[in-house]
A = this chain, B = another copy of it.
Amino acid sequence: MASLHSSITPKHRATIREVAEIAGVSISTVSRALTGHRGVGDQTRSRVVEIAKKVGYQPSGAARSLRTSRSLTIAMLAPDLENPGNQTEVRTAISVAAARGYSLMVFDYSAGSTGGFSVINRIRESDVDGVLLGAARLKVTRELLDLLESGIPVESVGESTTPHVEGTFIVDNATWFHYDKAACTHAARRLFSMGHRQVAYIDWRDQSLLGRTRFQAFQECAIAHGLPESSVTLLKAAKKEEAVGLVQHALANSPTPTAIISGNGVMTPYTLEGIHSAHARIPDDLSFIAFGDSPWHRAFQPSLSVIRRNIEGEAAGMVERLIARIEGREVPEPDIQPTEFIDRASIAPPPQTEPD
Contacts and interface: CB of A to CB of B under 8 A. Distances in A.
Given A94-B108, A99-B111, A101-B114, 9 more contacts: A5-B154, A11-B150, A36-B116, A61-B125, A61-B126, A62-B127, A63-B66, A64-B125, A268-B299
12 contacts: A1-B160, A11-B149, A45-B116, A64-B125, A66-B66, A73-B105, A94-B106, A98-B107, A103-B107, A103-B126, A105-B106, A240-B295
Contact of A111 (B73, B95, B153, B333): B95
Interface string A1-30: 111111011110000000000000000000
Interface string A84-116: 000100110011001111011111100100111
Nearest to A34: B117
Contacts of A42: 116
Contact of A294 (B106, B117, B269): B269
A74 B70 CA distance: 19
Interface string A263-302: 0000011101100100000000000000000111011110
Contacts of A116: 33, 36, 42, 45-46, 49
Contacts of A240: 295
Report which residue of A9, A49, A115, A149 has the largest number of chain B beta carbons within 10 angstroms of its beta carbon: A115
A62 B71 contact: yes
Copy number of this protein in the oligomer? 2
A162 interface: yes
Given A36-B115, A58-B125, A81-B94, A5 B152 contact: yes
Nearest to A7: B151
Contacts of A114: 36, 98-101
A5 B151 contact: yes
A119 B103 CA distance: 9
Report which residue of A34, A62, A159, A294 has the largest number of chain B beta carbons within 10 angstroms of its beta carbon: A62
A331 interface: yes
A3 B333 CA distance: 10
8 closest pairs, A vs B, by CB? A36-B115, A269-B295, A10-B151, A269-B299, A101-B115, A62-B65, A272-B299, A98-B111
Given A101-B117, A104-B105, A299 B276 contact: yes
Contact of A105 (B78, B103, B159, B268): B103
A106 B108 contact: no
Contact of A81 (B1, B3, B95): B95
B1 A334 contact: yes
A124 interface: yes
A186 B276 CA distance: 28
A61 B152 CA distance: 15
A113 to B, nearest CB: 10
A122 interface: yes
A161 interface: yes
Contacts of A82: 91
A325 interface: yes
A151 B106 contact: no
Contacts of A338: none
